Amino acid sequence: MKIGMISLGCAKNLVDSEWILGMLKKDGHEIVGQIQEADALFINTCGFINDAKKESIQTILEAIQQKKESTYLIVIGCLAKRYKEELQKEIPEIDLIIGVDEYEQIGHLLNQLLHSKLSTTWDINDRVLTSYLPYAYLKIGEGCSNCCAYCAIPLIRGPYYSYPKENILKEAHHLINMGIKELVIIAQDTTRYGKDLYTNYFLEDLLEEIAQINPNVYIRLLYLYPDRITDRLIQIFKKYDNIFPYFDIPIQHSSDVLLKAMNRTGNRKIYLDVIQKIKKEIPQAILRTTIIVGFPNETEQDFLDIQEFLKEVEFDHVGIFTYSNEENTKAYELKNKIPKRIANQRKKELLLLQQKISLKKNQNRINQTHLVLIEDYDGNNYYGRSYVYAPDDVDGKVIIKSKKKLFIGDEVLVKITKAYAYDIEGEAQV
């Protein structure tokens, strides 16, 4: 049978999609890239915030129109877990709905649908990469135990649990042997790794083992909780040249009052202290964070606080989101909701502030030489990423002029000549 996959949402969802495709391919199914070719079409949905839910529903409805009438439509992922009954009722064209907690049974459920007797087994090392790009995500855990007041992830994916180190290292070896040049380590909370599974083996230990596999393969770490960044972790970033000095630290806000209301661990001082420590130990460190504006009861003083925090820290990259009122979360019942127009205005003001900060930081990179991983070409320019930028256009990119032909996957030294708010531009030194 020909299997198609549409993967929506975050990188963690993408890894799940690739694991599922690998499992099905192992069973003899053929993986195809076009909706019209598929005999069974999987849509891996996101149900995190309202905009993501709308995108998932729209994608399902569009797929119904585009697919062959005989094609089975299988909806999986966070939306499937969170709204299974509603989806069954409102979109009867869906043939099978599978939540994130049922992935180990996905082969069995598919075989039931197809009246097949194939014996499907779940093995993360059968993963099929869905991208031709020279990086891959390495997922080290599932779920979340932080229970932030605004977040539905614990409701959807359950409490945090770490994957066994043997499985992770095996997959890392597998990806590197496939030619991957950058491993991007992810989980909902990477800094929690190992605490539920081992007594003396944590993220720092895992990171060292991965770094030692191949010194020519770079490692990027995402989703670091600020109050769990240890001195030892910072020293490991310093110790290994192939670990990018890139710190993705989601703080969500800087107001202690709002942080408490959000049920976030840590506070403004803790966040500043760890950031200052990183800057002192690793002056070239890239700092990224995410901010939520418009959380219930956010005052003008709270908003001023986060503005001042951004000015003081000068993050390289900031993702800014307006609060999404998610049912069954603690924040859902809070009063004094911020009107959408005010939340959007605050987001706009923060974006403008951060653009100025990012532009200044990028201007300081002019005349620097960066090692860039080539990922795209449009006929005029090449595009890629240095250690400054995470994948999937969440930060920005390097625009490259080159007199010599380059190829996707090439690693090229680029002298930076121009700076923009999000991107930098340079000339390949070839």
SS3 399: strand
Separation between Cα atoms, residue 44 and residue 255, nearest integer Å: 35
Q: For residue 305, what is the DSSP state? A: H
Query: What is the DSSP pairing of strand 161-162 with strand 2-7?
Result: unpaired
* 126 or 2, which is more confident: 2
- Residues in Cβ contact with 359 at an 8 Å cutoff, skipping those fewer than 6 apart: 419, 420, 421
- The H-assigned helical ranges of 178-230 are 203-211
- The H-assigned helical ranges of 164-299 are 165-177, 203-211, 231-239, 256-261, 268-281
What's the whole-number mean pLDDT along residues 298-326?
97
**CATH 2.40.50.140, the chain: domain bounds:** 369-428
- Residues in Cβ contact with 312 at an 8 Å cutoff, skipping those fewer than 6 apart: 272
Q: Which residues of 38-65 are buried (b: 16+ CB within 10 A; e: fewer)?
A: bbbbbbbbbbbbeebbebbbebbeebee
Do the beta carbons of residue 398 and residue 376 sit within 8 Å? no
Separation between Cα atoms, residue 402 and residue 404, nearest integer Å: 5
Separation between Cα atoms, residue 292 and residue 343, nearest integer Å: 9
Max CA separation in the chain (angstroms): 63
Percent of the chain at pLDDT exceeding 90 = 87
**CATH 3.40.50.12160, the chain: domain bounds:** 2-125
Separation between Cα atoms, residue 106 and residue 163, nearest integer Å: 19
**CATH 3.80.30.20, the chain: domain bounds:** 131-363
Do the beta carbons of residue 304 and residue 289 sit within 8 Å? no
Residue 184 is inside which H or E element, if any?
A: strand 182-186
SS3 153: helix
pLDDT value of position 127: 84
Instruction: Write out pLDDT tens, residues 232-247.
Output: 999 999 999 999 999 9
Do the beta carbons of residue 21 and residue 120 sit within 8 Å? no
Residue 66: Cβ within 10 Å count: 12
Is the CATH code 2.40.50.140 the one for domain 369-428? Answer: yes
Instruction: Write out pLDDT tens, residues 252-290.
Output: 999 999 999 999 999 999 999 999 999 999 999 999 999
> 2-125 sits in which CATH class?
alpha beta
Do the beta carbons of residue 18 and residue 127 sit within 8 Å? yes
* 340 or 130, which is more confident: 340
Q: Smallest Cα–Cα separation from 293: which of 266, 319, 312?
A: 319
Is the CATH code 3.80.30.20 the one for domain 131-363? Answer: yes
pLDDT value of position 117: 45
User: Tokens 């991983």 label which residue?
Assistant: 373
Whole-prediction pTM value?
A: 0.90
Whether the pLDDT of residue 18 is over 90: the answer is yes
Whether the pLDDT of residue 118 is over 60: the answer is no
Percent of the chain at pLDDT exceeding 70 = 97
